[in-house]
Amino acid sequence: MLNIRPFQPCDLKAIIEIEKKTFSIPWSAQSFLDCAQWKEFWIYVAEQNKKIAGYFVAQVIGDEAELHNIAVDPAIQKKGIGQILLDTFLDKAQKEGVQNIFLMVRPSNHAAIHLYQKSGFQLLDKRPRYYEDTHEDALVFCKRLI
Ligand SMILES: CC(C)(COP(=O)(O)OP(=O)(O)OC[C@H]1O[C@@H](n2cnc3c(N)ncnc32)[C@H](O)[C@@H]1OP(=O)(O)O)[C@@H](O)C(=O)NCCC(=O)NCCS
Q: In this predicted model, what pLDDT tens digit does every residue of 98-141 receive, in sequence order?
A: 999 999 999 999 999 999 999 999 999 999 999 999 999 999 99
Percent of the residues in the chain that have a pLDDT greater than 90, as a whole number: 99
Domains, the chain: 2-144 (3.40.630.30)
How far apart are alpha carbons 77 and 82 in whole angstroms?
8
Compute the average pLDDT of residues 9-29.
Answer: 97
64 touches 33 (CB < 8 A): no
Compute the average pLDDT of residues 64-88.
Answer: 98
For residue 137, the model assigns a pLDDT of: 97
39 alpha carbon – ligand 1 mean position (Å): 28
56 touches 69 (CB < 8 A): yes
Does the pLDDT of residue 146 top 90, yes or no?
Answer: no
Going by DSSP bridges, is the β-strand pair 122-127/100-105 parallel, antiparallel, or unpaired? unpaired
User: Is 81 close to ligand 1, i.e. is its CB under 6 Å away?
Assistant: yes
Task: Write the residue with the smallest CA distance to atom 29 of ligand 1.
Answer: 78
Nearest Cα to Cα of residue 7 among 42, 38, 49: 42
71 alpha carbon – ligand 1 mean position (Å): 9
* Nearest atom in ligand 1 to 67's CA: 48
